[in-house]
Amino acid sequence: MGNDIIDIQELKRVQEVFCNATHLYLACLDRDGNCLAGMFGKKEEKDFFQTFADQQVQAELAAKMRNNRIENTMEYETGCDYVKCCALSVCVEEKPQAVWIVMGVLKDRLPENKQLPEGIMVTTEELFFQSVSLLSVLADILLECRYHCVQIESSLGTQLEKQKQEELQLKNTGVMMEILKMLESDNSFEKMVDDILKMACDNLGIAGGCLLRDNSDGTVELLCGYARDTSAAGMEYFENEQRGNLPFFDGKPYIVSADSVKPEAFEELFESWKISAGIFEPLKINGKVVMYLCFYDTAEYKIWENADIRFVSDTRRVIQNSLVKRVAKNSLAGSYTSLQAILENVGCGIYVADYKSRSILYMNRKLKELFAKSVAGNGLEEMIFSEKEVERSQYFEEYYSAVEERWMDARKTEIDWVDGRRVSLGTFYDITDKKKYQKKIENQVNNDFLTGLFNRMRCEEDLKRFIRGAKKNDETGALLYLDLDDFKHINDGLGHQYGDVLLKAISHSLQKIRGVDGTCYRMGGDEFIVIVPPSFYMELNRIVKEVISIFSRPWFLKGEDYYCTMSMGIVYFPTDADTVDELIRKADIALMSAKKRGKNRVEYYDEMDASSTYRRLDLEKNMRTATMNACSEFEVYYQPIVNAQDPKNSCYGAEALVRWNSSALGFISPVDFIPLAEYLGLINPIGEHVLKNAALRCKYWNDMGHPEYHVNVNLSVVQLLQNDIVKKIATTLKETRINPRNLTLEVTESLAINDMSRMKKILSEIRELGVRVALDDFGTGYSSLNHIREMPLDVIKIDRCFIEHIGEDDFSDAFVKMVAELARTIGVRICVEGVETKKQRDVVKRMGISMIQGYLYGKPMPIEEFEEKYL
């Protein structure tokens, strides 16, 4: 920070006024010991004081103060009883910025015949220390205010933090001013300290504080004390304690936070006093420690901040000075001139007013600058003595002056003036730049950067307000959720820059619609929301028609006309929903319904449509969760495939079928979840889970005395379209070590019809692994006998719809018989599904078909049941 916060000329003016007012001699050095303002006085006076503290001594004092983080005042022994010298550091944010060297001649210690240089000023020891205390406080205020002015000018980005620091400093300064005013009280020393302790503890927000006196008999006496909760830390802990039991009573200051590493003696003390943190400051008279000022807290994580330490140090100095001699009332009056000179240089406007006499006692130059127009027209005095101001004794608020066109932080409080009158003190900080910056940030937070419309966050805030108002006044409003149809084609075809042009044009058109010009929002991408407030609800049809008309016209982009339509979902509030999330969700459901029904249309929310949507959303959410959990909820059931030509109906093996036993939704039918799994792409992990488990189970059957058993596993279209499906099957064979000839993969004929050449390639590669391929549900799709000849197959599975009426329907009989004879001709085996009666079985047997599958021999069953029956 350095000297950029110190105005040298103002510093010298303050020095001159202060020295003349207090009869002291000041010099000012910066934190590096460089001279900012030389010793005040004429040459003879300067030479006189040089003999006691030359420039080298002053620089050494400055260096010591720079490294002293606890004390801001240090006495220097001049070797002369009647010449006093002090070094006073002035800090900003706990960092020394300047050091005042204060010197004075004490007339009450001056030998009777001592000759002094002509014109030299003298003072008393009492006034010397009073003036040093006053200089400490006022110098801090001066530099603090100057610091904040520099900060405000240098960076708006730190404005809020500075405001907080200013408020904290102002608060601490205000409390310190109140404490200083107690010095004028006629109360006893003990009563004054009691009041100071209470005020200081309340300001710091801590449990309590006390003043301990050292007795000559080795005990320590509680002289004054304050505790917020006497039951938590009773004053009896401090009564007649032995000095040896107090580890801090050794003349040194101690600052102990809750997280500080404490010596054993301090640990025991804190435990016995039931406190977690403490500050212990010695009070001295003639260099001897006579008392200790203690502040403590019981909060478990109390950490003393630098501001706390500084405030405590200032409080100690006040009590220390009062201990030497109570400050007389006329001492402040005598220092009024220096006070006025210093307040003229602070960074805020200040006035002092007496409402009883309706007079302004003081007004600094900064206030006159802030209210220049008002002062010229007597408007400032009218404002200060307005009825509103007279009724309020204290406040802190933001204030906008339309006359001055300024925003200001205004604070008002009551104080005792130098002559003892109770007056009002007002301060004004100019925050116009901060307010402009805040406005800019608010626009960035609430508005969409591209279109200028309000964004999603602002939409949710406004919608919450509209819903609350509609419920309160028993009104109805509407929410229109828009999504552009095939906007991706505009972006991909013309480029994103023209997509942005279109979005801005649509936004501009929406804002022209009367009634919703201030309630249009871009939710992101190509989605918009328009809120129809209750005040315009009766015009909803007109607003919807105007929105539709916007998209009925072409948009001129890149030199051509292009059409872009939209789909819209509409919900009512608070009838359809009375929360923001629920309302937007239902509007989205209505919008999706419009999309499903062909786009370029408007749909109103319907509870029946929503129920199926909710069901699908629940299925999707739980299915995703189940697949992420290693597909453990998906169980493999097995339906036996038997040899109908064997009198014992021996088992060939089984078809593996997936079942979903959801922990959240219960048992889900394959008809409900398999199409959704295919749509979401989740059929891939589910299918791999079924394939691996079925292969492992078949390997177990083969090893347990049934080497002829095989297992059929269905492959979805989605699975077969994966580029690495053959590799995945090969990996499964390797990991499970199943005989490839005992694994049959079933595909549907519709897959083959879609891309015959690709399917022939994939199925051929699968057969090269040794795995059998079966054509499932034959006869239900776009059947073609030519497909049977072209496709590399091992098994044809005739669908159950032809078995249902076999033996009763000539077509079914002829179809099954024809396919069976064709299969034998090309060397492919036949398996029929859906055999449920013995009559159906007998007809199939007569046709020479051996592999049968159906409820006659068993429904799909858990692995335990299958193995108990067939293993």
Q: Is the pLDDT of residue 329 over 50?
A: no
pLDDT at residue 330, as a whole number: 41
15: pLDDT confidence band, cut at 50, 70 and 90? confident
For 236-285, what is each residue's pLDDT tens digit? 555 667 888 889 998 899 999 999 888 999 998 898 888 999 999 999 87
Q: Return the structure tokens found at 852.
A: 């049968």
The string over 68-94, giving b where at least 16 C-beta atoms fall within 10 Å of a residue's C-beta and e elsewhere, is ebebbbeebebeeebbbbbbbbbbbee
- Overall average pLDDT of the 99-118 stretch: 88
CA gap 480, 475 in Å, rounded: 17
Where is average pLDDT lowest: 10-14, 196-200, 765-769?
10-14
Whole-model pTM: value is 0.41
Highest mean pLDDT of the ranges 299-308, 417-426, 744-753: 299-308
Helix axis angle for 580-596 and 456-473, nearest 10°, is: 110
Residue owning tokens 């370029």: 600
328: pLDDT confidence band, cut at 50, 70 and 90? very low
Of the candidates 223, 236, 248, the residue with the CA atom closest to the CA atom of residue 272: 236
The pLDDT mean for the chain works out to 85
Q: Is the pLDDT of residue 831 over 50?
A: yes
pLDDT at residue 32, as a whole number: 81
CA gap 829, 819 in Å, rounded: 10
Of the candidates 859, 829, 798, 803, the residue with the CA atom closest to the CA atom of residue 643: 829
pLDDT at residue 528, as a whole number: 96
Q: Is the pLDDT of residue 649 over 50?
A: yes
CA gap 723, 728 in Å, rounded: 10
Q: Is the pLDDT of residue 610 over 50?
A: yes
333: pLDDT confidence band, cut at 50, 70 and 90? very low
Where is average pLDDT lowest: 233-237, 286-290, 641-645, 703-707?
233-237
- Overall average pLDDT of the 334-351 stretch: 69
**Beta pairing partners, 829:** 795
Q: Is the pLDDT of residue 483 over 80?
A: yes
CA dihedral 472, 477, 479, 480 (to 10 degrees): -170
pLDDT at residue 431, as a whole number: 87
pLDDT at residue 754, as a whole number: 58
Q: Which amino acid is at 112?
A: E
Q: Is the pLDDT of residue 595 over 80?
A: yes
104: pLDDT confidence band, cut at 50, 70 and 90? very high
Q: Which amino acid is at 136?
A: S
pLDDT at residue 327, as a whole number: 38
CA gap 762, 719 in Å, rounded: 11
Residue 598 CB neighbours (<10 A): 9
729: pLDDT confidence band, cut at 50, 70 and 90? very high
pLDDT at residue 561, as a whole number: 83
For 142-196, what is each residue's pLDDT tens digit? 777 777 777 766 665 456 666 676 777 778 888 888 888 887 777 778 888 999 9
Q: How far apart, in Å, are the Cα atoms of 283 and each of 68, 371, 556, 698? A: 18, 46, 84, 92
- Tell me how far apart the 2 most distant CA atoms of the chain are, in Å: 149
Where is average pLDDT lowest: 530-539, 559-568, 857-866?
559-568
418: pLDDT confidence band, cut at 50, 70 and 90? low
Which residues are within 8 A (CB) of 514 and not within 5 positions of it... i.e. 6 or more apart? none
